[in-house]
Structures are given as structure tokens and as C-alpha cells.
Chains A and B, each alone.
Chain A
Amino acid sequence: MKKKTLPKSSSQEPNLKGTIISVSIIGLIIVASWFGVFGLFLSR
């Protein structure tokens, strides 16, 4: 597939600042809970 069939510059990209912050929070929750149980595993 040819990628640039439509001229789309990043300035036309929608503003998704809130989205990237929201998903980052999810990411942090995942990382924190994973290390939490990982720590529990090591301590046992």
C-alpha cells in the first residue's frame, strides 16, 4: 500500500493531548501493579 495517497501533514492531525495523557496514566497503573506483584514474588 502506498502510504501518502492523501496529503496529510501532522498539523492536520487532531489534538490528542488529553488522550496521550490518559493512556500514559493507564500505562503507569499497569507498570506499578506489575512491579507490585513482582516484588511480592521476590519477597516470598
Chain B
Amino acid sequence: MAIEKLLKYEHDNKFSLTISKSESRLYMSFIGFAFIALFVGGLMGLLQVLVRSGYYTLPAGIDYYQVLTVHGVILGLVLTTYFIIGFQYALMGKTVGISETQFRVAWLGFWIMTLGTIMSAITILYGKASVLYTFYAPLQAHPAFYIGLALVIIGSWIACFVNWRQLYVWKKKHPGEKSPLLAFMVVINMIMWFIATLGVAASVLLQFIPWSLGYAATIDVLLSRTLFWYFGHPLVYFWLLPAYMAWYAIIPKIIGGKIFSDSLARLSFVLFLFFSIPVGLHHQLTEPGVQTTWKFVQIILTFMVIVPSLMTAFSMFATFEITGRRKGFGGLFGWFVHLPWKDVRFLAPFIGMLAFIPGGAGGLINASYQLNSVIHNTIWVTGHFHLTVATTVILTFFGITYWLVPHLTGRKLTPTINRLGIIQTIFWAVGMTIMSTAMHIQGLLGGPRRSAYSEYGGSEQVAEWGAYQVAQAVGGTILFIGIVLMVYIFIKLAFFSPKGNEEFPIAKEEMDAEPTPMWLERWKLWVTITIALILFAYTIPIIDIIQHAPPGSAPFAWPIGNN
């Protein structure tokens, strides 16, 4: 059965909802917080590459790993989560609307997350939590660090509940209609986030907090790692899917085209929901306590999650080609030449897409079972996710910022800022190419990640890595200039740009588009399949880990200087 496209829907769509002033303040609070995080985290990144170059030592006896903890937590966890929640709220506000109660609850979520962030940040700054953003036991941070993290997660759950409720209310008012594409995508992402964070929340609440407070003498290390990675892989898809939202439903509008296929976009999101979670063991391939069979099963599932990304790649090019041809640019690649390269709202996400080609290829290698031992915990991995998160996702977020922030603050993206944005994008592309390439090569040579500068006793092999670490410092410095530019652009757009009306670009379907099949909205079925896949992939490994658990580990606080 397919739903007819109702005239009314077309009408609603044309006059998409307006975002009120007070709503804007909510969305801007999340996004503004993300930009503060970007600046602080970026500064740490700069310090890291400088230290690792061997030509710089941190002042005042600051510990490298304290800096790295700030960098990982604030960029990997805080920046991403805040930006995503703010952006997703804006998408929901634009497509399905927000009620007075939902609005108030959303603020509550913001404050709980912020309280948690501040708690964790203080413990890190006091040197009591230099455990890096993965906080592997039995390194023990101050309890306030874990409690802060738990609050961030709980605050983000509130955003899940609000987003679900927003679509639910909309659907009640629009019986028989398909949900707006962007709202559909936001709800999928938040279902994935909720199911995934249950793992890390269980670990933090039931394992880390009692253990760090001294109520539990020991902790099951392998169980805590498995729960962490049950969350850790979907975490990266939680970052990626908002970028895909922009690619599928916003970029087509910016380049003057239509959505390539509404149904395929939805289908790919459903596939992401299925296969993002039951794959966390691919981060634990070189661990001694997990059975090989189940590692391999999760490798197969990991390969499945590549399929929706293949679909996305095709959709993107198809959108570009169809739009270009419609505008009259023929030939094999004429359409490509005529993309709006001078529009930063397009250019930044486009560079992000390009970065996902080597990023995705690298990810496939990382997940390739035996091949993992070539790169595991080498700086290759850092090179990999600075392409995927710190370029693909972040540049797309920057691309969103250029129109979303002025739209929310009632200002304009001026030609000057557009030009500055293009320069910013180029800085990022160049800096990241240098830094990430050097990291990939040094990683293949064996250089470790998460390591301060060390000559390892002066061996020849390690001396060879020096040049790559210097290259990383060059690339990292260019990147840092990019961050300063972006923060400047953000401040301009938020407070100083001329008043005006910036468009909230949402692409439409073709007039004669094939109707979207109704079965794509079988939410209960999707959640059931997701849970079934998780149970399939994790039940036996987890039972095995618990049944064959070694004696637990007492806390170790001294190695991180938490005395």
C-alpha cells in the first residue's frame, strides 16, 4: 500500500513552520555550547600536536594525558552531542513543531546535560580524571567524573523523549500521512542513541560509580569494556546520521534540486538503526577474553552497516547529476563543474563527503578482523576518525551553521562571511589532509596513538616517525587556525551579522516522485528487529564474559595522578 500525496501535505510543506524567538534561544543554547567546546577542544588539539612534534613541552607541569582527556571528552562527547541535539530540535521545530510542555522539558534536558558537563570538566581540570574519554577501568577517576557523565546521558535521554513525543503528536494530528523526512530521521537517530546509551549508562551507574565510591571493591573490566563499546560504535553513527540528514534533505535544496528518493533515504536510516549497534566487538578484536566466533559474527554485521552508506554515496551523486542536467549542464561531468562551489553552505559539507571516501575505506580496513592487528591502537586510528568525525561530520555541521545560526538569530549570511567560510573550509581541508595522512602513514609503521612524545630509548625505527609527527604539528596548526576562523564566524553570525531572513533550506520531492511506501513507518517493527539483532549478537558473548569472569580489579588511581 502506498499513501497518496495529499495536497494538504504539499501545502504544509510549503509553509513549513516558523521557529519562534524563545525556541530559537533553546536551539542556540545547544549550538553555542558546542562552539565553546570547539574552541577549548581545538586549543587542546593544538597543544597535543605541538607536544608530539618533540619541540614543545607543556608549561607548569601540565600532563599530556590531562590535555588529551579534555580534547577527547569535549570534542568527541560534548561538542557532538550538543550540536546534534540543538540541530535536531531545530529540524523538529521546523517540520513538526514543539509544544509549550515539550519546550520546557527540553530546557530541563539542557540544564541536566550542562550540569553533568561542568561536573566532569571540573574533575578533569583538577587532574582527577585523566582517564581519556573512554575511561577504561581499572584506571579510576574521581566519582564526580562518572556522575557527570551519567547526567550528560540522562539529559540527552530527555531530548530523545521530547523528539519522539513531537513526532507522535504530529502524527496524531495528521493521520495517514507519512512523517516529514527530517523528523523521521531525527526519531531514528534518537532511538538508536537511546538503545545504545543504555549500555554505557548501565556500566557507569552499576559498575563505575559504586566502585569509584568504594561501595564495590572490584570491577569486571572486560564487562565494562564490552558495555562501553556496545555504546561506542553506535556513538559514531549518532554523529554521522545528522550529517546524512543534511546531505539527503538539505543539500539538494541548496544546490537547487530535489530529493533523489525519499523512500531510499528512509530505508537507509532504518538499516543504520538495525546494524549500528550489534557491532561493538569490532573495537575489541585484539582482546584476550572475547570468543573468536562472536568477534567474527559482529564483523559480518559490521559489513552490513556499510550498505546504507553505499546507498548514500549513490544518492548524493545522483542528486548532483540530476540537478546539473536539469539546469542544462550535460556531458559525463558537466553537472559536476556547475555545482555551487562558491556557496559555503554547499562547499563545506561537500568536502566532508569527500573525506568520507578515505574515511570509509579506512573503517572497512579497521573492521576487517585480522587486518585490525595491523592498525589497532596505532595513530592510524586517530587519522581515521579525524577524517570521519572531525572532517565529514564537523564540516557538515559547519555547513549547517552558516544558515541555521542566522536563521535562528534573525540575521543574514553575508557575502563576506560566505567568503570567510570558504577560506575556513580550505584551511580545514588542507590542515586535515596533512595531519590525517601523516597519522595514517605513521600508524602503518607502528606509531602508537594516545601517546605523548617519546623516543622510546632512541631506536632507529622510532626516529623515522619524527618527520610524521612534525607533519601532524603543521597540519594541526593549520586546523587550529581553521577553528579560530570558525569561532569568529559563529560569533559574527550569532550576534553581529545584519538583520534579515536567512532561509531554512529543506528540499522537496520531485512532483512525480514515487509515493513512499507506508511500511517504512512501522516503528514497532523496526525497534523489534533492532533489539532482536542486539540480542543475537550480544547475549552469548555477555553471558560468556560474566560466567568466565576472572577475579575483578581493584581501582587504580595513582597511574593517572589521582591521589
Binding site for B on A (CB under 8 A): 1, 5-6, 8, 14-19, 21-23, 26, 29-30, 33-34, 37-38, 40-41, 44
Contacts and interface: CB of A to CB of B under 8 A. Distances in A.
CB-based closest 4 A-B pairs: A19-B317, A30-B361, A33-B361, A22-B317
Nearest to B375: A37
B360 interface: yes
B374 A44 contact: yes
A29 B332 contact: no
Interface string B362-396: 10110010110111000000000000000000000
A17 B361 contact: no
Contact of A26 (B325, B332, B333, B357): B357
Contacts of B325: 14-15
Interface stretch (B58-66, B479-487, B512-520): B512-520
A17 B324 CA distance: 13
Interface residues of B, number: 33
Given A33-B358, A41-B371, A1 B1 contact: yes
B126 interface: no
Nearest to B512: A6
B335 interface: yes
B514 A8 contact: yes
Given A18-B333, A40-B374, A40-B444, 8 more contacts: A1-B1, A1-B517, A17-B332, A23-B313, A29-B361, A30-B364, A34-B364, A41-B373
B374 A14 contact: no
A40 to B, nearest CB: 6
A33 B365 contact: yes
B318 interface: yes
Contacts of B362: 33
A19 B321 contact: yes
Nearest to B319: A19
Interface string B1-33: 110000000000000000000000000000000
A1 B357 CA distance: 34
B271 interface: no
A8 to B, nearest CB: 7
B558 interface: no
Contact of B321 (A1, A16, A26, A44): A16
Interface of B: 1-2, 310, 313-314, 317-318, 320-322, 325, 332-333, 335-336, 357-358, 360-362, 364-365, 368, 370-371, 373-375, 444, 514-515, 517, 519
B321 A38 contact: no
B332 A41 contact: no
Contacts of A29: 357-358, 361
A1 B310 CA distance: 24
A23 B335 CA distance: 15
B514 A19 contact: no
22 contacts: A1-B2, A1-B519, A5-B515, A14-B325, A15-B321, A15-B325, A16-B321, A17-B332, A18-B335, A18-B336, A19-B314, A19-B318, A22-B317, A23-B313, A23-B317, A29-B358, A30-B361, A33-B362, A37-B375, A38-B368, A40-B444, A41-B371
A9 to B, nearest CB: 13
A8 B325 CA distance: 20
Given A1-B2, A1-B519, A26-B313, A14 B365 contact: no
A44 B373 CA distance: 11
Which of B321, B357, B514 gathers most chain A CB within 10 Å? B321
Contacts of A41: 370-371, 373-374
A16 B318 contact: yes
A33 B374 CA distance: 13
Given A5-B2, A30-B364, A14 B322 contact: yes
Contacts of A15: 321, 325
Nearest to B326: A14
A34 B360 CA distance: 11
B3 to A, nearest CB: 11
Nearest to B517: A1
A36 to B, nearest CB: 9
A32 to B, nearest CB: 8
A1 B360 CA distance: 33
A34 B358 CA distance: 11
A15 B323 CA distance: 11
A38 B314 contact: no
Contact of B371 (A6, A23, A37): A37
A30 B362 CA distance: 8
A21 to B, nearest CB: 7
Contacts of A38: 368, 371
A6 B514 contact: yes
Contacts of B357: 26, 29-30
Which of A8, A21, A30, A40 gathers most chain B CB within 10 Å? A30
A37 B440 CA distance: 11
